[in-house]
Amino acid sequence: MLGPELETYKGNKGFMAAMGILGLFLALMLVLAFVSRHPNPVLGICVLILLVGPVLTFLWLLSLRVTLHSDGISYHTLFGEKEMRWDAVDRFYYSAIETRAYHLGVGATPVGTTYRFKFVYAEGKTLVLGSRVAKPEKLGPKLIEYSYPALFRKVVDQFNNGQEVDFGAIRLSRDTGIKVKKRFGYQEIPWNQVSRWWIQEGRFHIYHQGQTGSYLAPRIRKIPNAFVLNGLLNSILKQRAAA
Tens of each residue's pLDDT in the chain, 243 residues = 898 999 999 999 999 999 999 999 999 999 988 887 788 888 889 999 999 999 999 999 999 999 999 999 999 999 999 999 999 999 999 998 877 655 555 555 556 789 999 999 978 899 999 999 999 999 999 999 999 999 999 999 999 999 999 999 999 999 999 998 888 888 888 988 888 888 888 888 888 876 655 567 888 988 999 999 999 999 988 887 776
> CA-CA distance, 199 to 195, in Å (whole number)?
14
186-189 vs 89-103, strand pairing mode: unpaired
Let me know: does 15 contact 21? Beta carbons within 8 Å.
Answer: no
> CA-CA distance, 26 to 162, in Å (whole number)?
60
Find, among 196, 194, 84, the residue nearest to 146 by Cα: 84
CATH 2.30.29.30 domain span(s) along the chain: 5-152
pLDDT in tens, 30-84: 998 888 778 888 888 999 999 999 999 999 999 999 999 999 999 999 999 999 9
CATH C-level class of 162-242: mainly beta
Let me know: does 202 contact 220? Beta carbons within 8 Å.
Answer: yes
Q: Give residue 87's pLDDT.
A: 94
What CATH number is given for 5-152 in this structure? 2.30.29.30
> CA-CA distance, 88 to 2, in Å (whole number)?
13
Q: What is the pTM of this model?
A: 0.86
Let me know: does 236 contact 158? Beta carbons within 8 Å.
Answer: no
Q: Give residue 51's pLDDT.
A: 94
* pLDDT cut 70: percent of the chain above it: 92
User: What 8-state DSSP symbol labels residue 26?
Assistant: H
The dihedrals phi and psi of 124, each to the nearest 5 degrees, come to: 85, 5
Find, among 190, 185, 184, the residue nearest to 172 by Cα: 190
